[in-house]
Structure 1
């Protein structure tokens, strides 16, 4: 049984635990298990780490991200595009030749086509720590054809291998190249882990995460 006050304290403690997060940069509000984060940070990485840290806390139903990224250094879009291209080139998980990069006012837009969903995800993740990026919009598409039955089996096996996912409480349905996840999980972290695992399946281009976080808590 947890209260909003306890959840807020846990979020603060988790922020203090993360080296990249300065807890003084954030305002934290918790109501009925929903955490709202606001404030100003100087890089995208700190924002993403803060949001993910809040999702780990037991009892959190959802996280509302109102954090603003304001870059201190004056980085031109041209220089930023060069840094991004260099980073993607050296990331062996990403087929750089299939990805297009556009930068406007520090906001990065990724387009193109890749074979695997994890390549789309990795392209975005590899850029999160580049100084000067305010946001990343990833519309890279995935091209692959796999039997839906095989996809469902592979996702279920991935859940069974995971120490953080209770496969018995999750149902996987495949519609075309979309995986639909339904059932109950104990935390947002478990819900996110299931989403990531499903995205790694060959042939999956989209995941509808309809998993419900069920946790007995008292909100004050």
Structure 2
């Protein structure tokens, strides 16, 4: 019987998430509480930066058997990390300018109570992601809301988009494209099926985001061996 068909218990998933948090040096396991119900992982507790909150979420996602992750971790900035919204907005603007993958002339950033909001329009999903990624590690940031829309330069049908993603997946050495199903609805791509490793899952996600006109990628991929 394959791993994909063997349901993991909530206790097993919780144990592995806690172990993974302890293994990853970016987050202290003592800062994060983990509960699992029906395969849904909920993270609680508090950390001193938004970067740590994001890292904890990514760590939980890579544990086999989880269906979804709810990130309820609170960001409590220490006094030394407090910044005015003006300082945060200035730092955010500079971070976007320094990222070669971000079309900074098409993006606006607003800071309010330490929370950054991105707006604008780009042609590729990876540009939307790059803009958010550039801001996560800034000191003083409590969170990021990404409202950037993705509008491709040319017309591309859903069938063409599905075909192009499948061809791109087939070129990847770490991804078994035959195990992945691709559905496209407007600007949203849904990847379902199976992958053989966490790295393959991440690679499949990157491929989908790189396609023109993709505004959202939903992963329903199960890990198998």
- Normalising by structure 1, report the TM-score: 0.85
The one-character-per-residue Cα deviations of 1:77-96 (angstroms, maximum 9, x if unpaired) are 00000111111111111011
CA separation of 1:59 and 1:157: change in aligned 2, threshold 3 A: same
Q: In structure 1, the residue corresponding to 2:130 is in which secondary structure?
A: helix
The one-character-per-residue Cα deviations of 1:133-173 (angstroms, maximum 9, x if unpaired) are 11111111122124324422221123223455432132224
Matched, 1:134 2:142: yes
Report if the CA contact (8 A) 1:62-1:188 is conserved: no
Alignment partners' CA distance in 1, 2:198 and 2:39 = 11
Alpha-carbon shift at residue 57 of structure 1 (Å): 1.1
Q: Which runs of 5+ in 1 are unaligned?
A: 216-220
User: Which of 169, 172, 179 lines up with 2:189 in the alignment?
Assistant: 179
Matched, 1:203 2:209: no
Q: In structure 1, the residue corresponding to 2:116 is in which secondary structure?
A: strand
The one-character-per-residue Cα deviations of 1:97-138 (angstroms, maximum 9, x if unpaired) are 111000000111000111211101100011111111111111
CA separation of 1:33 and 1:179: change in aligned 2, threshold 3 A: closer
Alignment partners' CA distance in 1, 2:61 and 2:73 = 15
User: Which of 67, 74, 79 lines up with 2:82 in the alignment?
Assistant: 74
Alignment partners' CA distance in 2, 1:27 and 1:125 = 25
Alignment partners' CA distance in 1, 2:178 and 2:87 = 49
Matched, 1:151 2:161: yes
Matched, 1:31 2:40: no
Alignment partners' CA distance in 2, 1:175 and 1:52 = 25
Alignment partners' CA distance in 2, 1:189 and 1:38 = 26
Larger mean Cα displacement after TM superposition, 158-167 or 71-80: 158-167
Report if the CA contact (8 A) 1:44-1:135 is conserved: yes
Q: In structure 2, the residue corresponding to 1:211 is in which secondary structure?
A: strand
Work out the number of aligned pairs and report it: 215
Kindly report the root-mean-square deviation, in angstroms, between the aligned alpha carbons of the 2 structures. 2.5
Larger mean Cα displacement after TM superposition, 147-156 or 17-26: 147-156
Larger mean Cα displacement after TM superposition, 62-71 or 36-45: 62-71
Q: Which runs of 5+ in 2 are unaligned?
A: 1-5
Q: Which one scores higher on RCO, CA 8 angstroms, separation ≥ 6?
A: 1
Alignment partners' CA distance in 2, 1:122 and 1:31 = 32
Q: Segments of 4+ in structure 1 off by > 4 A?
A: 184-193
